[in-house]
Amino acid sequence: MNVTIVGTGYVGLGTAIMLAYLGYQVTGLDYDEEKIQGLRDGILPIYEPGLAELLTAASPNLHWTSRYEDAIPQADFIFVCVGTPPLPDGHPNLAYLESAVRSIAQHLDGKPQIIVNKSTVPIGTGDWVMRTLEEHAALYATSHYEVVSNPEFLREGTALGDSLYPDRIVLGGSGWATERMRALYAPLIEQNFEAPAHVPRPRGYERPALVETTLTSAEMIKYSANAFLALKISYANEIAGLCECVGADIHEVTAGIGLDHRIGTRFLAAGAGWGGSCFGKDTSALISTGQDYGYNMPILRAAMSVNARQRSLVIEKLQKHLRLLKGKRVAVLGMAFKPDTDDLRDAPAHDFIARLCQLGATVVAYDPVAMPRARTEWGDLHYLEATSAHAALEGADAVIVATEWAEFRSMNWNEALCVMRNRVIVDARNIIREPLTVPAILEQIGRDHPHSSFLPASALPADKVGA
């Protein structure tokens, strides 16, 4: 079976390389000729742990092109993996999707082909895609073309494991189309492929659940899953705020409630809130869909409100101790929205840097992976780049931990803080677990630290600084 992947972003690349590794002939299609040439040369446009190694293993089965006429006619399955960014009113922008579907339609050759919506799309998009094919395909035949909704549930940073060893596969469409999809995904369903050495099969993992639904239900499953995870994060952050008021510790609270198997421990981490391309966009899309039908969704609106509040809270914690930020030097550790990726979309660090500059602070930022991408995507921000976390802290009055990279977790914070001018730490990811032995102010989310024993370096006699 031949597979074409339209769009070579985070989802498209992972899908293309995974299917090629499973033995299919896969063509990756993207309008960006520079990106396509880089892929031909083995250069990935994104960072994802292990993806380069899997690309090398799968390369004999991979082909890259920017021409629809080279990719569509021979394909048995056409996966649409283009972006659907949010519009100002919360609805997804379907311009890229519409362009891709029209171009696909113009190059269909009349044989049975399945168009797979892998992009996160509004509820009802599957029917809209079918109508678009009817209107624009020169050789359209109802019995030959089918649309399937096959939403992805990948987490950036662990996308390979999520692709090869999914907890469920959702297929929405007609019986004939989902049967064909089951055949395509047979290696994943049966787990009879050889696991890559660098992405081993998890201990105890057997096979994924297979969920077959209508197109509409599959589209709803994707949005509902992401919105629920967003709710869990916002709930943890709301409880964290109350913990600070009453003196409870959010780590202890979430550990205690997460042991209830009905709740679970995942996505209960308090901090700066969610970012990335999914949670905010998909939650907004559900709210907007409700508006279209006159249906209010107050719980989802509250989740969005709490998430926005967390970003303001981080700056407020800085202001509580530094008062005026004008003229202060603030280090921001982490720029990507989460660790093990270079994805900067809706990253909290962007809002931190923008607000700090607005308040007159000088910002020094460091990220182990995302700084090259930030140079092009964050051209609207003014900040200095540091070559390391230690370099970012030198002479700083304060530091914000914006991304929970392992590098920051394993730092010797007592040693690192000694190079700061003032030692105010806003740990927005709650990664500092060991007590600080140097004089400093530590602010975390949902954890109360007694400030009497943690003073900024500028408040100490000169002979005590660094003691």
pLDDT in tens, 415-467: 999 999 999 999 999 999 888 999 999 999 998 764 434 444 444 433 333 33
- Shared domain for 242 and 299, answered yes or no, is yes
- Shared domain for 227 and 361, answered yes or no, is no
- Shared domain for 295 and 331, answered yes or no, is no
**What pLDDT is stored for residue 215 in this prediction?**
93
- Shared domain for 248 and 142, answered yes or no, is no
Cα(242)–Cα(236) distance, integer angstroms: 10
Residues forming beta bridges with residue 172, ordered by sequence position: 149, 213
User: Number of folded domains in the chain?
Assistant: 3
- Looking at the domain assignment, is residue 78 inside a domain? yes
The average pLDDT across 102-120 equals 89
Active-site position among 245, 278, 357, 418: 278
Burial 188-212 (b: 16+ CB within 10 A, else e): bbeeeeeebeebeeeeeeeebebeb
- Looking at the domain assignment, is residue 442 inside a domain? yes
Asked if the model's pLDDT at residue 151 lies above 80, the reply is yes
**What pLDDT is stored for residue 120 in this prediction?**
81
Cα(385)–Cα(401) distance, integer angstroms: 15
pLDDT in tens, 52-105: 999 999 999 999 999 999 999 999 999 999 988 888 887 888 899 999 999 999
**What pLDDT is stored for residue 92 in this prediction?**
82
pLDDT in tens, 301-352: 999 999 999 999 999 999 999 989 999 999 999 999 999 999 999 999 999 9
**What pLDDT is stored for residue 230 in this prediction?**
95
**What pLDDT is stored for residue 392 in this prediction?**
97
Domain hosting residue 47, numbered range? 2-213
- Looking at the domain assignment, is residue 218 inside a domain? no
Asked if the model's pLDDT at residue 139 lies above 80, the reply is no
The pLDDT mean for the chain works out to: 91
278 in catalytic set: yes
**What pLDDT is stored for residue 382 in this prediction?**
95
**What pLDDT is stored for residue 109 in this prediction?**
80
The answer to whether 186 and 178 are in contact (CB under 8 A) is: no
- Looking at the domain assignment, is residue 103 inside a domain? yes
**What pLDDT is stored for residue 466 in this prediction?**
37
Asked if the model's pLDDT at residue 140 lies above 70, the reply is no
Domain CATH code at residue 285: 1.10.1040.10
Cα(463)–Cα(467) distance, integer angstroms: 8
Cα(398)–Cα(440) distance, integer angstroms: 10
Domain CATH code at residue 204: 3.40.50.720
- Shared domain for 117 and 18, answered yes or no, is yes
- Shared domain for 144 and 28, answered yes or no, is yes
Cα(153)–Cα(156) distance, integer angstroms: 10
- Shared domain for 12 and 106, answered yes or no, is yes
How many other CB atoms are there within 10 angstroms of residue 437's CB atom?
10
- Shared domain for 55 and 104, answered yes or no, is yes
Q: Which among 289, 381, 260, 392 is positioned nearest to 334, based on CA atoms?
A: 392
- Looking at the domain assignment, is residue 383 inside a domain? yes
**What pLDDT is stored for residue 86 in this prediction?**
81
Counting every residue written for the chain, the total comes to: 467
- Looking at the domain assignment, is residue 263 inside a domain? yes
- Looking at the domain assignment, is residue 134 inside a domain? yes
- Shared domain for 232 and 149, answered yes or no, is no
The average pLDDT across 402-424 equals 95
- Shared domain for 391 and 425, answered yes or no, is yes
- Category of 294 on φ-ψ map: left (φ > 0), alpha (ψ -120 to 50) or beta: left
pLDDT band at 278 (very low <50, low <70, confident <90, very high): confident
Q: Which of 168, 186, 213 is the last residue of a domain?
A: 213
% pLDDT > 90, the chain: 79
- Shared domain for 182 and 267, answered yes or no, is no
pLDDT in tens, 224-265: 999 999 999 999 999 999 999 999 999 999 999 999 999 999
Longest dimension (CA), the chain: 84
Q: Which of 249, 273, 305 is the last residue of a domain?
A: 305
Cα(249)–Cα(3) distance, integer angstroms: 50
The average pLDDT across 169-198 equals 95
- Looking at the domain assignment, is residue 288 inside a domain? yes
- Shared domain for 89 and 115, answered yes or no, is yes
Q: Which of 151, 183, 213 is the last residue of a domain?
A: 213
DSSP state of 86: B
CA distances from 130 to 146, 208, 326, 420, 466 (A): 7, 28, 56, 60, 67
The average pLDDT across 108-130 equals 87
**What pLDDT is stored for residue 401 in this prediction?**
98
Q: Which among 438, 429, 435, 423 is positioned nearest to 251, based on CA atoms?
A: 429
Question: Please, where are the H alpha helices in 61-210?
Answer: 68-71, 95-106, 125-136, 159-164, 175-184, 186-190
